[in-house]
Amino acid sequence: MHKFYIMMAIGAALQLTTQGAPTATPVSDTCSTPHCLQTASNILKDMQVSADPCVDFSQFACGGFNKREKLRSGEKKNGYLVSMDKQNIDVIRSIVTPNDPKGPVIAKGDAASRRNLKKLHSYYGACMDNSRLAKVGRKPLQDEIRKLTQLFPATKTPTAPSNGTRVVLSPKNRQALSTLWGYNMKHGFESPIAWDLWDDETNPGYKMLTAQQSGLGLVDEALYKDEKIIALYEKVVGEMFYIIQGNGKSQSTVPKTWKQVGKDVVAFEKILAGIEIQPKAAETAAPKKRADGAGAETGTGTEAEEGTGDGEGDEEEEEDEDDFTIIWDKISDLDEATPSLDWNVIFKNALPAGVPLPENINMLWKFYFRRLETALETMPLQTVQNYFIWTLMRNLGGNLAEPLQRPLAKLKKALPDYDATASTARWRSCVELVNENLGDLAGHFFVKATFPKESQAIMNEMIGSLRWSFEKSFWEYNWLDPRTRQAALQKLKAIVPKVGFSTSSPNVGQSASVDKYYRPLVINGKDHFGNQIRASTWKTESMFRGMTKPSNRVKLASIPQTVNAFYNPNMNSIEILAGILRAPFFDAAVPEYLNYAGIGVVAAHELGHAFDNRGRSYDETGAIREWWEESSIQEFDARSQCFIEQYGEYTIDGPGGKKHNVNGWGTLGENIADNGGLKIAYDAWAQRKRNNKYNNKVLPGLERYTPEQLFFIQYARAHCGNMTPEESVKMLNDDNHSPKKWRINGVVQNSDHFAKAFQCKAGTPMNPTKKCVLL
């Protein structure tokens, strides 16, 4: 936007400020740079200045955004996090597209960068080559299916009796099935059990091999009870078998034989989902060890598993274990849980050369192993084989020409989580595959394009000031006993900040390091299907080799272009990725009260997770142990109860205008971090402001508002966004963050700084007499 039009927008908005925030002391020192002009315009457009900030601050700060950014048809939600993700995808697209005018320019003599970019172009080009995909047709997938059937020919003796009586696989079939299973694990193909390396909470700095439930084609077990979805799912499976294994024509009528295959495969999955053969009540008990420990914090929220049950018999002991307990298992325990499989054979076929069989493993959701064994013992071997074939089709079919994957697309559109507004263009899918398989390679160029070194320096300085603010606060908490305070300060000091991108395995900032890291992965510019298998195999081998190595404490868990930030309790580290270090969260060229209100609050929020209701159970090394004195625990719990009750009173509007209450307990950790993060970031910025040597100029057209007021306005803007009633209820059930409105209003209601900045009278909605304070 030209400067003339920006000033017009500012002037028009300023005329509306006759109501709202109190008049600030005039300040002549105004920031008039293009960045400040544009930022001021954006802030004014998001605001509804006619609203009273002391009555509904969310409406005051975001009313303009909510009115302007209406949800499009089929769109479930919008907001700055969503738009930032789209912007980052566009940047990656320009990087991987040859001859894109916005693409990277390689310096003369930089051979490593040239090889890196060529690999990206080859990968993306192969994915985008529709004519070649059409030419090779279904053959690549048929070749993989042929390998599968050769490894597991599904000898028909013995077959499962029609009355459902369990049988034991013959040694020959058990050996064949285990060999196939190991082959799938080696190549990263999906199986009913997924393996991953998680941080070992009993031995910080090392990993443990963990088994989880997998292998379902529907996103939610509850969907296996939906007759309409199941009918479509059975049809899609049959259609895909007919297209790939039959005549190859997607428009033909599917013969009964293939329709029956679809029904049989879905019946197998129903057992895995606990629908066809009901599991014991204890099968819904919580796992022995949570995947995320204190929770993997993200900008958009994490999923939470919940269950109920009244276990009986030998299940009671397992149910009584707390969430943090790790029950170590061995290969013999896997064999005992699934007699139809030989796990020694599986691992010998799955592990890379030189990697020994694992001594200790962790079997999560042990009830699922009973379901799996039930399916293997009661279903005909031909159905078991077809299930594995279908899993290949489901996971690899998207790499075929468009006509061959139409049934998969039809199923995707019918599922509840489908976003009708999401781009279905081929380029979007190919960019997603780039991020999935060559994420740090593309991230290297993303960082060069969007994340200058000065930004990293500013962030590191900011984190230092936030750490100071936390330390100051710990000394002010008179409810903390001296021993717990010292331990908390020790943990705070030990938190490792990781900003922007990984500097090891590879160092994303160095082209030579990225080149060396990705060199073993062969990319063929004319073999898209093969590229996917090679990438999957390469990543899986790297994962298994990590079993025997110490954890890499400096490597980030995500690629740099991700819009994310989180705290890792096992590493006692915070990660703030380059993808989120963009406006409105961060802009090195604007006054720093805006940055402290944006990314500063985010960083303080993540630091706060080290001391929330779950994070406080981890010590400075990442080990789970109780380091709090009982008196401080009781005080912590009392203050936590205040948040539980406060947020439990908040509601959202669901379909039909029905009110739904926020889960005050389920959102407790995020609410503690939200409230503490705002307080800590404000205190850190206010201390710097008192030094009078940092950029805190006012914005043009916003001179009426003090920097203190603009701090809170900017904080609220990060949470501006709209959501359908249906999505609101879904997020209420699935997300451990509070709804956007209450991440604004709920937090400022507890803030004395906010009440003072806006001169809200005691007892007004945004300045209640009772406030909840912990961090």
Residues 195-208 pLDDT 10s: 999 888 778 888 88
7, pLDDT greater than 50: no
Per-residue model confidence (pLDDT) at position 302: 31
> Computed from CA positions of residues 703, 706, 712, 715, in that sequence, does the dihedral angle turn out positive or negative?
positive
Per-residue model confidence (pLDDT) at position 369: 93
Give the Å distances, CA to CA, from 214 to 186, 189, 227, 317, 527.
16, 11, 22, 25, 28
Q: Mean pLDDT check: name the lowest of 345-354, 361-370, 427-436, 537-546.
A: 361-370
299, pLDDT greater than 60: no
Prior bond of 550 cis (ω within 30°): no
Per-residue model confidence (pLDDT) at position 278: 47
The pLDDT tens digits of the residues spanning 647-673 come to 999 999 999 999 999 999 999 999 999
DSSP-derived letter for residue 224 is G
The pLDDT tens digits of the residues spanning 675-695 come to 999 999 999 999 999 887 788
721, pLDDT greater than 70: yes
Average pLDDT over residues 457-465: 95
Q: Please give the Cα distance from 662 to 382 (Å, whole number).
A: 48
Helix (H) or strand (E) segment spanning residue 211: strand 207-213
Per-residue model confidence (pLDDT) at position 694: 84
**Token pair for 255:** 């013969």
Helical ranges in 204-272 per DSSP H: 227-245, 256-272
Per-residue model confidence (pLDDT) at position 6: 31
Q: How confident is the model at residue 155 (pLDDT cuts 50, 70, 90)?
A: low
Average pLDDT over residues 460-476: 96
Q: How confident is the model at residue 275 (pLDDT cuts 50, 70, 90)?
A: confident
Q: How confident is the model at residue 419 (pLDDT cuts 50, 70, 90)?
A: confident
Q: How confident is the model at residue 168 (pLDDT cuts 50, 70, 90)?
A: low
Per-residue model confidence (pLDDT) at position 210: 93
219, pLDDT greater than 90: no
Q: How confident is the model at residue 614 (pLDDT cuts 50, 70, 90)?
A: very high
**Token pair for 32:** 């008039």
% of the chain with per-residue pLDDT over 70: 87
Per-residue model confidence (pLDDT) at position 27: 44
Per-residue model confidence (pLDDT) at position 277: 59
Q: Mean pLDDT check: name the lowest of 74-88, 408-422, 448-462.
A: 408-422
Count of CB atoms within 10 A of residue 74's CB? 11
Q: Please give the Cα distance from 290 to 364 (Å, whole number).
A: 8
Count of CB atoms within 10 A of residue 422's CB? 12
Q: How confident is the model at residue 58 (pLDDT cuts 50, 70, 90)?
A: very high
**Token pair for 25:** 């002391």
The per-residue pLDDT of the chain, averaged, comes to: 87
Domains plus CATH for the chain? 140-418 (1.10.1380.10)
The pLDDT tens digits of the residues spanning 555-599 come to 999 999 999 999 999 999 999 999 999 999 999 999 999 999 999
The pLDDT tens digits of the residues spanning 500-533 come to 999 999 999 999 999 999 999 999 999 999 999 9
pTM reported for the whole predicted model: 0.87
Phi, psi of 433 (to 5 degrees): -70, -35
Encode 577-599: b = buried (16+ Cβ within 10 Å), e = exposed.
bbbbbbbbbbbeebbbbbbbbbb
One-letter amino acid at 92 equals I
User: Which of 180-189, 284-293, 305-314, 415-424 tops mean pLDDT?
Assistant: 180-189
13, pLDDT greater than 80: no
Higher pLDDT pick, 266 / 283 = 266
The pLDDT tens digits of the residues spanning 316-375 come to 333 334 444 566 889 999 999 999 999 999 999 999 999 999 988 998 888 899 999 999
736, pLDDT greater than 80: yes
498, pLDDT greater than 70: yes
| 477 contact partners, CB below 8 Å, separation of at least 6 | 485
The per-residue DSSP string of 267-327 comes to: HHHHHHTTSSSPPPGGGGSPPSS-SSTT----SS------------GGGHHHHHS-TT---
Per-residue model confidence (pLDDT) at position 332: 93
543, pLDDT greater than 80: yes
Q: How confident is the model at residue 28 (pLDDT cuts 50, 70, 90)?
A: low
164, pLDDT greater than 90: no
Q: Please give the Cα distance from 24 to 425 (Å, whole number).
A: 50
% of the chain with per-residue pLDDT over 90: 77
* Long-range Cβ pairs for the range 301-307 (8 Å, 24+): 301/731, 301/734, 301/735, 301/736, 301/737, 302/735, 302/736, 303/734, 303/735, 304/666, 304/734, 304/736
35, pLDDT greater than 70: yes
Taking the CA of residue 401 as centre, how many other CA atoms within 13 Å lie in the half-sphere pointing to its CB? 18
546, pLDDT greater than 60: yes
| Greatest pairwise CA separation for the chain in angstroms | 89
The pLDDT tens digits of the residues spanning 480-496 come to 999 999 999 999 999 99
Per-residue model confidence (pLDDT) at position 166: 53
Higher pLDDT pick, 85 / 17 = 85
Per-residue model confidence (pLDDT) at position 692: 77
The pLDDT tens digits of the residues spanning 63-113 come to 999 999 999 888 889 999 999 999 999 999 999 999 999 999 999 999 999
Q: Please give the Cα distance from 598 to 611 (Å, whole number).
A: 21
Average pLDDT over residues 309-317: 34
